[in-house]
Structures are given as C-alpha cells and as structure tokens.
Amino acid sequence: MKIRDYTVPELEYLKQNCNFTEDELMYFELKSKDISNIKISLKMHISISQVSKIAKRVSLKISRILNK
C-alpha cells in the first residue's frame, strides 16, 4: 500500500509509533501528499539515491509497526 492510500487516522498512528527521524518524517509527510521522489529530493535538497534510502527505512518501519 502506498503512503497516500492511508487514512488520516492511520497516518497519525504511524507518525506517533514509527519513531521517524526528521528526514524520514519529512519524506513520510510529502509522500502522504503524493509528491514524487524527484520533487522530494528537490524540496529536501538531497539526491534521488538518498531519497530512496530514506524511503526504504520508512517502509521498513511502517511494515514493522503494521505487522505486530
């Protein structure tokens, strides 16, 4: 499931329970608004490869929380 597909209460639950870093939280919030990774990299002033690394960490944290 893509981040943009979660409901507002689900997004809030994940924010509170995933222990995101500042970069991960920024990525999470931008993806919840369906912003592309290219635009995220420009907004965060980081490379696309760095965005991909953050995306993997966010996905891992989400899956760990949801699979409890």
Domain spans of the chain, in order of start: 3-66
pLDDT for 19-35, tens place per residue? 999 999 999 999 999 99
pLDDT band at 1 (very low <50, low <70, confident <90, very high): confident
pLDDT for 7-23, tens place per residue? 999 999 999 999 999 99
Q: What is the architecture of the domain spanning 3-66? A: Orthogonal Bundle (1.10)
Question: The whole model's pTM is what?
Answer: 0.93
Inter-CA distances, 51 with 7, 13, 27, Å:
23, 23, 8
